[in-house]
Amino acid sequence: MSKINRRGLRTTAAAVVAGAIAMAGGALAATAQAAPLAQAATVYRFQTLDNQRDVTFNQLLGINNEGTIAGYFGSGAAGHPNKGYLLFPRYGQGNYVNENFPGSVQTQVTGLNDRGVTVGFWSTMNNANMVNDNTGFWERNGKFHNANFPTSAQGSPPVDQLLGVNDGDTAAGFYTDAAGNNHGYEVNLDTGRFSSVTDPNLPGASLTAAAINNGGDVAGFYTNAAGTTDGFLKVHGRFIDLAAPGASATMALGVNDRDEVVGTYTVGGGTGAVMHGFTWTAKGGFATIDDPHGVGTTTVNGLNNAGDLVGFYVDAAGNTDGFLATPQK
């Protein structure tokens, strides 16, 4: 698949979204020059959660207020397709339920709400170059539906992904045009009505809408004409730019109903780049989140209203592992 991956079924420069960045490689070198931001004041309990069907590659991408987690296993390399699942950790590590679009070769489940709706994307391909078609989908009560932005400007192969959904059944996602630029959008799953998410201050930016909360606020990221990638939070139509101090790139990937934002930021570039997860609030600003087993390789992809975080990291063996981080009172 393509990805922006939230990671995606195809790996592209935007691949981090929502799931995800396409990080199918080994651990990143921890040699960047700048130091990470201050660590979060909240103390978290970290738990590694990997589906035993493939312990070498898992990404956890969303968590609802019931504690149910959306994710997938499989790197997307040829012969190792992405396979979606829901995880119910309150019932134990082994409680994974497969969720794959009917007839698909690859599926990622990228988001879910509290009303039983999941979203994601699927592919008919599992190519060696990881360049595959992507089709957005949503599922409710066991019934799957496609959801692709209505446009004649799709790239080839087409890339369209749903990455988040709120309890009003409005989903956020993006499609990629023929020039390789991303276009964010929202879609009402009940009516099928689509609307574009664009920053009026950056009309030509390549923009991904990665998450949406129950107030309709949208988190995501964009790349401008100069090649700079920053996150954003759209609150009541107003865009707040999110750029972690000292970072070479920032991506906002999740938002809860208190407008707490999570994501990942990169320090340095090339083979010396490292990635740290973050939380951000309007009052407290940025704070670094690193799984202790993956410092410098951590992505935080989703959170709920209790402040539980989900994401993934690359371990010392080069495996990509899912994690759940729970605030300790």
Alpha carbon distances (Å) from 322 to 94, 190, 294: 14, 31, 11
Per-chain mean pLDDT for the chain: 89
d(CA 64, CA 112): 6
**35 found inside a domain:** no
Under the banding of pLDDT at 50, 70 and 90, the label for residue 36 is low
Q: Give the pair of three-digit tokens for residue 214.
A: 């129950």
Could you tell me if 197 and 185 are in contact, meaning their C-beta atoms sit under 8 angstroms apart? yes
**177 found inside a domain:** yes
**32 found inside a domain:** no
Across residues 83-89, what is the average pLDDT? 94
Q: Give the chain's length.
A: 329
pLDDT beyond 50 at 19: no
Q: What is the pLDDT of residue 7?
A: 45
Query: What is the number of domains present in the chain?
Result: 1
SS3 assignment, position 250: strand
What is the distance, to the nearest Å, from the Cα of residue 190 to the centroid of all Cα atoms in its chain?
Answer: 23
Q: What is the pLDDT of residue 204?
A: 86
Percent of the chain clearing pLDDT 70 (strictly above):
87
Under the banding of pLDDT at 50, 70 and 90, the label for residue 9 is low
Q: Evaluate the omega torsion of the peptide bond into residue 157 and state whether it is cis, within 30 degrees of 0.
A: yes
Could you tell me if 41 and 54 are in contact, meaning their C-beta atoms sit under 8 angstroms apart? no
Instruction: Centre a 10 Å sphere on the Cβ of residue 300 and count the other Cβ atoms it contains.
Output: 27
**198 found inside a domain:** yes
Across residues 36-65, what is the average pLDDT? 91
Quick: pLDDT tens for 201-220: 898 899 999 999 999 999 99
Task: CATH number of the domain at 102, please.
Answer: 2.120.10.30
Q: What is the pLDDT of residue 94?
A: 67
Q: What radius of gyration, in Å, describes the C-alpha atoms of the chain?
A: 17
Type of residue numbered 53 = R
Under the banding of pLDDT at 50, 70 and 90, the label for residue 90 is confident
Burial of 90 (0-12, 13-18, 19+ CB in 10 A): exposed
Distant-in-sequence contacts of 99-105, Cβ < 8 A, 24+ apart: 99/139, 101/135, 101/137, 101/144, 102/144, 105/81
d(CA 129, CA 142): 32
Residues spanned by the domain of 117: 44-327
d(CA 105, CA 119): 17
Residue 150 sits at the vertex; the CA angle it makes with 158 and 15, to the nearest 5 degrees, is: 40
Percent of the chain clearing pLDDT 90 (strictly above):
82
Instruction: Centre a 10 Å sphere on the Cβ of residue 189 and count the other Cβ atoms it contains.
Output: 19
**165 found inside a domain:** yes
Quick: pLDDT tens for 240-256: 999 999 999 999 999 99
**227 found inside a domain:** yes
pLDDT beyond 60 at 158: yes
